[in-house]
Amino acid sequence: MPNYTVGLDLGKERDPSALVVAERVLIFEGLPSEQTFSDPTPPVDTYHVRHVQRFELGTPYDTVVDSVGELLSTPELRDHGLLVFDRTGVGGPIADMFAQAWQGGRLGRCFHPLGITLTAGFSKRGAAHGYYDATAHKGDVVQRVYMLLERGHIKIPLGLPVAEQLQKELRAFRPKQNRSTGNLSFEAARESDHDDLVIALALAVWFPHIWGKPRYIDRHTGELQEQA
């Protein structure tokens, strides 16, 4: 069955709220004859962006919750979607709104939404594999996006609404070193640049959730297939 994650960056004063839906899809890097779900050629996680959305600046959080609920109630996502949202700076009340919506059956029928607080810098764990936790380092989360992009493991279809803005943000978001401390962080190149779509994508690919079997690309046909 499909395996979807909805990454949601909740807006602050300058940035609007934004969300990205990514489907985890397995690919095999070996020859077609080597296609197998057992070692020695395990499949590789890739992430296919299925939906990109940016809310108007200043959209009330309850409206965002309702909109996310409508999305997660669609047939495609209702039984297969996990919501991961950035709760940094918005506090417990907003997380409670999502929890109440989920308990009321308004956020699909599957998984309790996961709120993540992003802290500064990088961790010793690194960004190669995300982890299911309520706290993560922003450097790790964003670095994982660029690692996946460099390997060709994030697919953003041409013509997808708002995808061009996402691509623009990705190009503008770069590592920045603090001259005083030497610490490295990821920030928008200019103060006028937004990063809401980048963070939403980063949350959508942060870790491969394990509920349900993701689809895979058949190397013989190039088509998406369901696991048996």
Classify each residue of 152-174 as buried b or exposed e, where b means 16 or more C-beta atoms within 10 Å of its C-beta.
ebbebeeeeeebeebeebbebbe
Residue predicted with more confidence, 31 or 225? 225
Share the mean pLDDT of the chain.
Answer: 83
Is the pLDDT at 203 greater than 60, yes or no? yes
pLDDT of residue 218: 83
In this structure, how many other beta carbons lie within 10 angstroms of the beta carbon of residue 46?
21
Q: Is the peptide bond before 40 cis (omega within 30 degrees of 0)?
A: yes
Burial of residue 147 (CB within 10 Å: 0-12, 13-18, 19+) is middle
Residue 97, SS3? Answer: helix
Please give the average per-residue pLDDT across 56-61, as a whole number.
Answer: 93
| Count of the separate structural domains present in the chain | 1
In this structure, how many other beta carbons lie within 10 angstroms of the beta carbon of residue 44?
12
Tell me: the pLDDT tens digits for 88-137?
887 678 889 999 999 999 998 878 899 999 988 777 766 566 667 788 88
Alpha-carbon separation of residue 72 from 1, 3, 16, 64, 161 (angstroms):
16, 13, 20, 12, 18
Is the pLDDT at 10 greater than 90, yes or no? yes
Alpha-carbon separation of residue 6 from 117, 145, 202 (angstroms):
16, 15, 10
Q: CATH code at 25?
A: 3.30.420
| Percentage with pLDDT > 90 across the chain | 44
Q: How confident is the model at residue 182 (pLDDT cuts 50, 70, 90)?
A: very low
In this structure, how many other beta carbons lie within 10 angstroms of the beta carbon of residue 33?
9
Please give the average per-residue pLDDT across 172-186, as a whole number.
Answer: 59
Is the pLDDT at 189 greater than 60, yes or no? no
Residue 187, SS3? Answer: strand
The Cβ-side half-sphere exposure at 13, using a 13 Å CA radius, reads 1
Domain hosting 94: range is: 4-225
pLDDT of residue 128: 61
* Residue 118 parent element (H or E): strand 114-119
Nearest C-alpha neighbor of 126 from the set 143, 145, 114 = 143
pLDDT of residue 194: 76
